[in-house]
C-alpha cells in the first residue's frame, strides 16, 4: 500500500507558525519606538489603499498569509486577494489590495513583501523541478533543509509549486541514516540496514500505546483459506520507515525486510538504474528515493531511471525570492 508523508497545505498548524514568526518580525522592525519615519511624516488619521504587484514571472505562494500578517500589525487593515496560491504570475500582475490606516500599512509593507517573495521563490523553483520530471513516475520532494522556524511555511510553498513534502520533522516519520547505523542501539556496535529496520518495527510494536499514529486494520490468515485475509482488530500503525543506503549491496540486504522507502544516497545514474532493477525483482512494493546533489541539469535524467521519489534540498535552501512591490493608489 502506498504511504506518504503528511502534506503541508494551508492549515491551523501553518497559521500558528506564521503568527509566531510575525510577532517576532514586527518587534524586530518596530522595537519599542515604532516606525520613526512614518510617525514623523504620516498623520495617524490618514487612511488609504495600495496594490501589491508582481515584478517577476513565477508561481504565487503566500496569498493565504497576508491577512494574518496584517492582523498582527493592525486588525483593522483589510486584504482583498485577486489570485490564489499556486497561480502563475507575470510582471505587473495585481496580487491583491491592502486598505486601512497608512501608518500600519507602511509597517506591514516590507514584512508582507519579504514573506510572499520568499515563498513564491520556493514555489517557482519547485515548479521547474516538477516540470523537468514530468512524464516519469518520479515525484519531487523537499527536505528538512529549511529556514529555522519557517519549515511548514516553506513546505507549503513547495506544495504551491506542485512538489511533495517529505517528513515535516523528526516526530512524524522514521528516517534511518548512516549515523544511526554507526551508533547502534546501545552505542556498542553497528546495525546493518536490515537489522535497523527490524529493530525499529519491534520498538513501535512494543511501545504502540505511547504513540498516536493513524490506525489501520491488522490482517491474519483465516482458518478456511490460508491464501485469504480477514480483518481481526485495529492496531496503531507503525510510522513510515525509510532507510538510507549508500551501496547496491546494502539495498539488496534491506529489501529483504521491506521498509516503506529506501533512500539511495548520492548514487550515479547507472547505480540508480541497477537499484530499480534489484527492487523490481526482490520487493516491488518498496519505493525508491534518489537524493544527493541533484539539480535542474540532472533531475530529468534521474527521473527516467524509474525511482518514485526525488528529494531536493535546493527547493528551500537555494530558492531566490521573487520581487514584489507595493504601489499606492
3-state secondary structure of 228: coil
Active-site annotation holds for 244: yes
Out of 3.40.50.300, 3.20.20.70, 1.10.1240.10, 3.30.360.10, the CATH code matching 132-211+239-317 is: 3.20.20.70
**Residue in this structure with the C-alpha cell 497559521, named with its chain if needed:** 15
Q: Is the pTM of this model over 0.75?
A: yes
Active-site annotation holds for 145: yes
Active-site annotation holds for 231: no
Residue among 153, 163, 170 nearest 239 (CA): 170
- From the candidates 4, 131, 265, 323, which is the catalytic residue? 265
**What ranges do the domains of the chain cover?**
12-130+320-328, 132-211+239-317, 212-238
Active-site annotation holds for 265: yes
- From the candidates 17, 242, 244, 289, which is the catalytic residue? 244
Active-site annotation holds for 110: yes
Q: What number of CA atoms fall less than 13 Å from residue 8's CA on the CB side?
A: 28
pLDDT string in tens for the chain (329-residue length): 578 998 999 999 899 999 999 999 999 999 999 999 999 999 999 999 999 999 999 999 999 999 999 999 999 999 999 999 999 999 999 999 999 999 999 999 999 999 999 999 999 999 999 999 999 999 999 999 999 999 999 999 999 999 999 999 998 899 999 999 888 777 667 889 999 999 999 998 888 777 766 544 443 333 344 343 344 344 446 789 999 999 999 999 999 999 999 999 999 999 999 999 999 999 999 999 999 999 999 999 999 999 999 999 999 999 999 999 999 97
- From the candidates 16, 44, 172, 177, which is the catalytic residue? 177
Q: Which CATH superfamily is domain 12-130+320-328 in?
A: Quinolinate phosphoribosyl transferase, N-terminal domain (3.90.1170.20)
- From the candidates 53, 145, 201, 258, which is the catalytic residue? 145
- From the candidates 16, 23, 44, 110, which is the catalytic residue? 110
Amino acid at each position: 500500500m502506498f504511504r506518504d508523508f503528511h502534506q503541508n497545505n494551508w492549515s491551523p498548524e501553518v497559521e500558528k507558525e506564521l503568527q509566531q514568526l510575525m510577532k517576532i518580525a514586527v518587534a524586530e522592525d518596530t522595537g519599542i519606538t515604532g516606525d520613526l519615519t512614518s510617525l514623523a511624516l504620516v498623520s495617524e488619521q490618514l487612511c488609504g489603499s495600495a496594490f501589491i504587484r508582481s515584478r517577476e514571472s513565477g508561481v504565487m505562494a503566500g496569498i493565504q498569509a497576508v491577512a494574518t500578517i496584517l492582523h498582527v500589525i493592525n486588525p483593522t487593515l483589510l486584504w482583498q486577494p485577486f489570485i490564489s496560491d499556486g497561480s502563475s504570475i507575470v510582471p505587473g500582475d495585481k496580487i491583491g489590495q491592502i486598505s486601512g490606516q497608512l501608518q500600519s500599512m507602511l509597517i506591514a509593507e516590507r514584512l508582507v513583501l519579504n514573506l510572499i517573495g520568499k515563498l513564491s521563490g520556493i514555489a517557482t523553483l519547485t515548479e521547474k523541478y516538477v516540470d523537468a520530471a514530468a512524464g516519469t513516475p518520479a515525484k519531487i520532494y523537499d527536505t528538512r533543509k529549511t529556514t529555522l522556524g519557517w519549515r511548514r511555511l516553506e513546505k507549503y510553498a513547495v506544495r504551491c509549486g506542485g512538489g511533495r513534502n517529505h517528513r515535516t520533522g523528526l516526530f512524524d516519520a522514521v528516517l534511518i541514516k548512516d549515523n544511526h547505523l554507526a551508533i547502534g542501539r546501545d552505542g556498542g556496535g553497528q546495525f546493518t540496514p536490515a537489522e535497523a529496520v527490524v529493530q525499529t518495527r519491534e520498538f513501535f510494536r512494543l511501545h504502540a500505546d505511547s504513540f498516536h499514529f493513524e490506525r489501520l486494520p491488522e490482517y491474519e490468515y483465516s482458518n478456511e483459506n490460508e491464501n485469504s485475509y480477514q480483518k481481526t482488530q485495529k492496531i496503531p500503525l507503525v510510522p513510515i520507515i525509510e532507510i538510507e543506503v549508500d551501496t547496491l549491496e546494502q539495498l539488496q540486504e534491506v529489501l529483504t525486510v521491506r521498509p516503506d522507502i529506501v533512500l539511495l544516497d548520492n548514487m550515479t545514474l547507472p547505480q540508480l538504474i541497477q537499484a530499480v532493477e534489484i527492487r523490481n525483482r526482490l520487493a516491488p512494493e518498496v519505493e525508491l528515493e534518489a537524493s544527493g546533489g541533484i539539480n535542474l541539469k540532472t533531475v530529468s535524467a534521474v527521473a527516467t531511471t524509474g525511482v518514485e521519489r526525488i528529494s531536493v534540498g535546493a527547493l528551500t535552501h537555494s530558492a531566490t525570492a521573487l520581487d514584489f512591490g507595493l504601489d499606492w493608489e
